[in-house]
Amino acid sequence: MTRTHTGFLSSERPRRVETGMSDRYDITIIGGGIVGLSCAKTLADAGARVAVVDRGRYTESASTGNAGMIVPSHIVPLSAPGVIAKGMKWLMNPESPLYIKPSTDPAFVKWLWAFQKHCTQAHVDHGVPVLRDSILASLSLLDTWCALPGFEGAGLAHTGLLMLHHGEKARQENLELADVAEAAGLDIERLDRDATLEKEPALKTDISGSVYFRQDARVDPEGLLRAMEAHVNELGVSIVEGAVSKLQKKGSSVVGVQVGDRILESDQLVIAAGSWTPQLTKGLGTKLLLQPAKGYSVTIPSAEHGGVDTRMHMPCLVTDEKISITPMPGGIRFSGTLGLQGYDLSVDERRAAPIRRHAARYCGAEHVAPLATWAGLRPASPDGLPYAGRLPSMDNVWVASGHGMLGVTMGPITGRLIADQIGGNEPTIDPSPFRVDRFD
Ligand SMILES: Cc1cc2nc3c(=O)[nH]c(=O)nc-3n(C[C@H](O)[C@H](O)[C@H](O)COP(=O)(O)OP(=O)(O)OC[C@H]3O[C@@H](n4cnc5c(N)ncnc54)[C@H](O)[C@@H]3O)c2cc1C
């Protein structure tokens, strides 16, 4: 694709300019999770002088302890027909995969209203090609990035993914998904029990079959984040540790970002603050529909680390219980649950215990103490598609967020879309489904 010349392209190596307590950049990015760092890479690659501000990417970000699955298999948006009915049934069960804390907060009520409005077949028909094209484009970018020196720790492995089932209902659900995926041109296989165990002999449970998604892959999410951070540093990106306390506005632009007693000045601002994005866009004239959707992961050590003897190599998702199983360096990670319950990162035993029980069931890990039990907040939009566009009320503020359960998968293409739009280039894929004002 031809690249047009952009305002921020510079022939020199990107460098920040320090002027007293104020630093000047072309672009400031708030948020150093996978999405913020993906934006930083694509913008720095295009020649921009970039600063990333973050207050806790290894403590509060969703980008470290997640399941690390890169999932072309997830082309059906979360808001789909039947989800509301299933959610209502699960609400009665304290150990269910879905939890909604009742709330009268207007932002939450508005989000829920928009969510249920999108649980239609028409939305699925719209979302499937959008997600397929953007996820495959993202995977292709990730492939290119992970081939660079320094990305070995990201652990990208093109293993495919098994969508497992044991009960009849889950089998039906998987077969329906297989039909949708096949019609969308994905490479899949419907497997019976023996063929499933042949693909992944380490599985220790009663599985009646699976659907194999050949194009899916896996990474070590924390390894990827660390590799991205080191890489953007080499590209000249400044990583500023601290919380953004204030955005300085001038007319319809943000001209400065306050971090402690420092002011970062820049021509453009990208807000990639995950679940916290609405807190930053609040005073900027557009109400962003985004809610934190809490999830857990439990990592069980492998035999060399005093844990279970398992040689699992590919990620699996169990449709019956909605849990995922991903091989990680030094262990196996089990993830699941989706809680709409506000900004709460504490570990609730009632939610984590079922995941540990599944770990015991699927890997024979009854007596093994987990390496870590982790909770993270997925930034969820009401229609299951991310935001990657300009905030309509502002001239120079961009939002890269709302990826829900697809942030690792779609981080790279989001970065590219943001860089394309800021640079005024022909977009790599159509950015219109990711517009920030699509719910207005
Ligand atoms: C249990 C679980 C499993 C998952 N599994 C997968 C998976 O297998 N595949 C997949 O693709 N996705 C998965 N996800 C989703 C994925 O983790 C998220 O979509 C993704 O991490 C979001 O990235 P982000 O960069 O948008 O946000 P985050 O990673 O949350 O980063 C946001 C950053 O913004 C910073 N920040 C916020 N406010 C401020 C402020 N005021 N000042 C400074 N910094 C600020 C925070 O410190 C944080 O580091 C999973 C999520 C969970 C919870």
**40-55 pLDDT tens trace:** 999 999 999 999 999 9
Closest residue by CA, ligand 1 atom 9: 69
Write the CA distances from 417 to 46, 311, 376, 409, 423, integer angstroms: 12, 38, 25, 14, 10
Q: Which residues line ligand 1 (CB under 6 A)?
A: 30-36, 53-57, 60-63, 66-69, 71, 243-244, 272-276, 280, 295-297, 335, 376, 378-379, 401, 403-409
Please state which of the ranges 3-17, 216-230, 281-295, 308-322 shows the lowest mean pLDDT.
3-17
Has residue 239 got a pLDDT over 80? yes
Q: Under the phi-then-psi rule, with left for phi > 0, alpha for psi from -120 to 50, and beta for the rest, what region is 340? A: beta
Angle at 162 between CA 310 and CA 335, to 5 degrees: 65
Task: Confirm or reject CATH 3.50.50.60 for domain 17-62+223-288+384-434, answering yes or no.
Answer: yes
pLDDT higher at 221 or 367? 221
Residue 22's pLDDT is what? 62
Please state which of the ranges 140-144, 306-310, 422-426 shows the lowest mean pLDDT.
306-310
Mean pLDDT, rounded, for 169-178: 97
Residue 406 CB partners (closer than 8 Å, separation 6+): 71, 74, 131, 135, 386
Residue type for position 34: I
Mutate which of 54, 225, 410, 434 for ligand 1? The one with the most ligand atoms within 8 Å of its CB, which is 54
Domain with CATH 3.30.9.10 in the chain: 70-217+290-380
Residue 366's pLDDT is what? 72
Distance 61 CA to ligand 1 centre (A): 5
pLDDT tier for residue 363 given thresholds of 50, 70 and 90: confident
pLDDT tier for residue 199 given thresholds of 50, 70 and 90: very high
Residues in the chain: 440
pLDDT higher at 306 or 404? 404
Domain with CATH 3.50.50.60 in the chain: 17-62+223-288+384-434
Residue 14's pLDDT is what? 42
Residue with tokens 């300019």: 17
Write the CA distances from 304 to 177, 310, 368, integer angstroms: 37, 10, 13
Distance 183 CA to ligand 1 centre (A): 31
As to burial, measured by CB atoms within 10 angstroms (0-12 exposed, 13-18 middle, 19+ buried), residue 427 is: middle
| Average pLDDT of the residues of the chain | 91
Strand intervals (E) in 275-427: 291-301, 316-318, 323-328, 331-340, 372-380, 387-390, 397-401
Query: What is 70-217+290-380's CATH number, 3.30.9.10, 3.30.1490.20, 1.10.3720.10, 3.40.50.970?
Result: 3.30.9.10
Task: For the chain, give the percent of residues with pLDDT over 70.
Answer: 94
Pick the closest to residue 37 from 294, 231, 181, 220 (CA basis). Answer: 231
pTM for the model: 0.95
Asked whether the beta carbons of 280 and 337 are under 8 A apart, the reply is no
pLDDT tier for residue 88 given thresholds of 50, 70 and 90: confident
Pick the closest to residue 161 from 384, 325, 38, 304 (CA basis). Answer: 325
Half-sphere exposure in the Cβ direction for 391 (13 Å, CA): 29
Residue type for position 436: V
pLDDT in tens, 2-21: 333 344 444 344 444 444 45
Residue 7's pLDDT is what? 44
